[in-house]
Structure 1
């Protein structure tokens, strides 16, 4: 059960209302972490800008971004993040077998080296909060400096997102569990 009540649109400040209306136009809903962050309009605005940048204005392929999000969501058991991003991962080319393996907490059998590397880097950063020299060098060689900075930063952002979802018990629509 969610820890915060739903947003009452009639009680929003002008700054909150602007963000709320933008979200409603773009997504048709105000839920997930942004419904939590809307309690502070500046926080919500800035996290929304980061999320939009990661989704559309980075050099790292969207396929790899969505894979990283699923790995991070699974490691944190962030139900809402998994619910939202599983369809995106499939749409952008992550195989159903890989998605199912991650869901079941199994190491996937990767056929693509870049996916394997994203899995290794994301898992290591989420579990140890550090990155080994070996994985750093592999990432730099495969992705280059800019995409490595983007990947590591996105891992940090989606870890914050997962913590927010879990701390405030944000549930998926209709109470469906995305992860066991």
Structure 2
């Protein structure tokens, strides 16, 4: 598998993952919405919990402010299941993960990308900041412009015109929200630094 470790952590985790047995009612409702909603159908490809049933990564952070966390996870469901086809979506997500250095998002989405037919060679090209070989015109546009938006936080006039030509306004909007959503998750991971399944166990 390809590897993306992201920026070095500033220090150890800034808190423990929350035990499901100790959640308040509003946290438990959010936990159930995440684990029993559409994401639950992808269990095994995109991990949601550890072996103790604790939410991983940004999902654990969502429990800190459950009302807002629920709104955020609903946006994620819409982006994940109401937008692009799986292969195109995973290309976009991993482009963002590579651009912002989010090792957790790369780790959690790489299996889904491989299952969708994206090769390890193509994943390596994404990590290298390249548009992978073997993509069709729409996929190339998704990778190119997701990378630009994640890195530069904008599209220049000529880039917007080209993205709109290839994708259309609606799918360009879908891509824009996807980039923003995964950028937000990356920020949450940087700020709260939940325990990372990528980190080696302590002695």
Give the TM-score category using the shorter length: 0.7 to 0.9
Structure 2: which 5+ runs fail to align?
1-11, 50-54
Tell me the TM-score normalised to structure 2 length: 0.77
After TM superposition, list the pairs within 5 Å mapping 1:1-180 onto structure 2: 1-25=12-36, 26=40, 27=43, 29=49, 30-58=55-83, 60-103=84-127, 105-111=128-134, 112-173=136-197, 175=199
- Aligned mates of 1:44, 1:129 — CA distance in 2: 23
SS at match of 2:71: helix
Question: After the TM superposition, which segments of 4 or more aligned residues of structure 1 sit over 6 Å from their partners?
Answer: none
- Check the 8 A contact 1:79/1:171 in 2, yes or no: no
The alpha-carbon distance between structure 1 residues 123 and 114, as it changes in their structure 2 partners (threshold 3 A), is: same
- Check the 8 A contact 1:83/1:172 in 2, yes or no: no
Structure 1: which 5+ runs fail to align?
none
Deviation at 1:24, TM superposition (A): 4.0
Flag the structure with higher helix content.
1
Tell me the TM-score normalised to structure 1 length: 0.86
Q: Deviations over 1:101-138 (max 9, x none)?
A: 223x2414433222221122112112211101222112
User: How many residues in Structure 1 have an aligned counterpart in Structure 2?
Assistant: 174
Deviation at 1:10, TM superposition (A): 3.8
